[in-house]
Structure 1
Amino acid sequence: MGLLVPAGTAQAGTHHGSPFPDRIALPDGFQPEGIAIGPGPVAYLGSRVDGRIYRADLRTGKGGVFSPGPGTPSLGLKTGDGLLYVAGGSGGDARVIDQRSGKVLKRYALSTVPAFVNDVVLTRDAAWATDSTNPVLYRLPRGVRGKARTLPLKGEIAYGTGVNANGIVQAPDRRSLLIVQSNTGKLFKVDPRSGDTKAVDLGGESLPNGDGMLLNGDTLYVVQNRLNAVAVLKVARDGSKARVVKRISDSKFDVPATVAPYKNRLYLPNARFTTTPTPETPYDVVAVKP
């Protein structure tokens, strides 16, 4: 579908003469982190600065801001049910946005203490979000009805300084969740009923700076942001074991944070964490083959 750029919003894109460009420019100073794609060739990106949501057409690279943001971050994103589920970072919240209008339909205040709500995954009946500061997961109902609840994490995970639980996916059998801990490079399996965590056997490997994750069948992609790499793992059906089979790197990477698929490509926003941000700093989304 074509996208209409809202009035007063600058268009951004590159390689306009080619379908599905491999680099899509975002507004200067945007500071992207999360990405979600679909339905169709439409990407949604959140700003760490003020929570704006940018919508881009993957076919043309053109787009615009369609949800203005609350002034606090928008980090991990997922689409489903005609809705966009947004992790609110240091705002300590999560939001549910109408994909057609950009209107915030529901806001959940998830924590009464400082928090960093980082990433989100959709399961059959819930949206689960990580907190990189507090050892908990947040469970939101699918849709806009119901209340959020907090699930304390216990077992083998131990929170320390820096970014803790970050990216989150379901295990291949959909009975448990997998979370990556950025500061330790460990991957954990989480029981969504009890909060019990067990370290996934990585065969001696580690995933330092692990950020956004994507599961496709039994293949797990883990973005290692400051390493400018995406680790590709084969995961046991129950999520107890995983093996790194390769790492993807690309000259277009500039500290990518998260990943989303469309057809035979992976799309990653360059968060540029190692670049001092200014209102004029350029940002983009890049596409690579898996």
Structure 2
Amino acid sequence: MEHRTLSRRGFLGLGAALGGAVALDAVGGTARAAAGPRRDRWPTTLRLPNGFHPAGIAVGRAPYAYFGSLLGGAVHRVSLATGEGTVLHPGLGEGHNAVGLQVDAHGRLFVAGGWGRVVTVLDGATGAVLRTYQVGAASTAVNHVVVTARAAWFTDAFNGLLFGVPFGPRGELPAQDAVVTLPLSGDWVQGTADQITATGIAETPDRRALLVVNSSADGGTLYRVDPADGTARRVALGGLKLPTTNGIAVHGRTLYAPRQYDLAVVRLDRAGGRGRQVGEVADPRFDVPCAVAVYRDRLYLPNSRFPLDPTPDTEYNAIAIPVPGKGIPS
């Protein structure tokens, strides 16, 4: 698959990035958090390989970040403590992508395979391929992923579907025929055939449902989805729009939603049916953000640099910012 095909179909719905050393513009006022040295002095910029073209990020319990590439589907792992990185998995080659990623409690890395229509499960320590699953149809682009206690759920950018990889009683991975294809219904508004619609996905604070970004409906909206039957209800966000939001993260009752040039911070109710924007983060290091992950008191965001055409020499990175409102320990 060529990069130009991704661009025409709208890369901003398949992965982009945010970052920053932090200016927090709270709704109704402005507060600034000055950058200062962290107690552990971990780096605030993580270098990725030249030409990598990141689309997503995952951080698990261990202090490592995983990044997926749109060009061939490689996965790169970086130590948050040192900034040193290595190729964990070389990818499945031409025509494949690695878009959204997430790590589960067993240290397994789930990778959304974009146009390749493949869900890949890797050993997060060795990069060994544990399982692959083929999903969807010819028009499917497997976009982003969230791992819950019962399953890993993936969005389909173009078809109003979620794909579920259900776990066994002890977290066992299923056979191919157990993978669930779940049509979205209820309030869900699907875009046209060539319009990216479903992008980021997360779990509600009460862990009973899923939150899915719809980047095309009404300027960019959020839906609460019942994983039992696919019924979607629009989340009331008080007018907040999410037109270029991709990989989202929910931490406690806070939703972090990257937009093209900033990061929206939203306080949700426990059920995830309502939310209100409580701030937005902007930073001069933001270079078109696509996803966000939380580790302790930091947020990590890869910079996609879209629409810059990647070359083998194009530089890419991810940045760390303090969790808004918590400041930076000294």
User: TM-score by structure 1 length?
Assistant: 0.90
CA–CA separation in structure 2 for the residues paired with 1:76 and 1:137: 14
Q: How much is the aligned-residue C-alpha RMSD, in angstroms?
A: 1.3
- The residue that corresponds to 2:264 in the other structure is 231
TM-superposed deviation, 1:191: 0.9
Matched, 1:37 2:72: no
Equivalent in 130, 134, 145 of residue 174 of structure 2:
145
Q: Which residue of 1 aligns with 2:285?
A: 252
Match of 2:228 among 193, 199, 207: 193
Cross-structure match for 2:30: none
> Hey, what's the Cα distance between the residues in 1 that align with 2:125 and 2:238?
44
Mapped partners of 1:90, 1:68: distance in 2 = 17
On the 8 A contact 1:223/1:258 being kept in 2, the answer is yes
8 Å Cα contact 1:132/1:164 also seen in 2: yes
1:134 equivalent in structure 2:
159
Task: Give the alignment partner of residue 143 of structure 2, picking from 118, 121, 138.
Answer: 118
User: CA-to-partner distance for each residue in 1:164-202, whole Å, 9 max, x for gaps?
Assistant: 111111111111111111233110011111111111111
State the secondary structure of the residue aligned to 2:288.
coil
Q: Does 1:75 align with 2:99?
A: yes
Greater length-normalized contact order (CA 8 Å, ≥ 6 residues apart): 2
Alignment coverage as a number of residue pairs: 271
Deviations 1:32-78 (A, max 9, x none): 01111133211111111011110111111111102111021011111
Structure-1 residue corresponding to 2:189: 158
Q: CA deviation at 1:112?
A: 2.7
Alignment partners' CA distance in 1, 2:319 and 2:125: 24
C-alpha contact (below 8 Å) 2:69/2:75 kept by paired residues: yes
Query: Secondary structure of the equivalent of 1:212?
Result: coil
Does the 8 A contact of 2:165 with 2:174 survive in 1?
no
After superposition, the C-alpha distances for 1:80-106 in whole angstroms (9 at most, x for unaligned) are 112100111111121100112211111
Whether contact under 8 Å (1:153, 1:195) holds in the other structure is yes
| Distance of 2:216 and 2:302 partners within structure 1 | 21
Which residue of the other structure, out of 305, 317, 326, is the alignment partner of 1:284?
A: 317
Does the 8 Å CA contact 2:145/2:201 hold for their aligned counterparts? yes
Q: Work out the CA distance in 1 between the residues paired with 2:129 and 2:181.
A: 22
Match of 1:177 in 2: 210
Shift in CA distance, 28/215, structure 1 to aligned 2, threshold 3 Å: same
Residue type of the partner of 2:284? S
Write the letter of the residue equivalent to 1:144. L
Contact 2:182 2:230 in 1 (8 A): yes
Contact 1:96 1:144 in 2 (8 A): no
Residue type matched to 2:162 in 1? L
Per-residue Cα deviation, 1:236-279 (whole angstroms, up to 9, x for no partner): 11111111111111111101111111121100010111212212
Letter in 1 for 2:102: K
AA matched with 1:218: R
Instruction: Give TM-score, length-normalised by structure 2.
Output: 0.80
| Cα shift at 1:113 | 2.3
Residue 19 of structure 1 and its aligned partner are, at CA, apart by 3.3
- Give the partner amino acid of 1:37: V
Q: Which residue of 2 aligns with 1:84?
A: 109
Instruction: Please tell me whether the aligned partners of residues 238 and 275 of structure 2 are also in contact (alpha carbons under 8 angstroms).
Output: yes
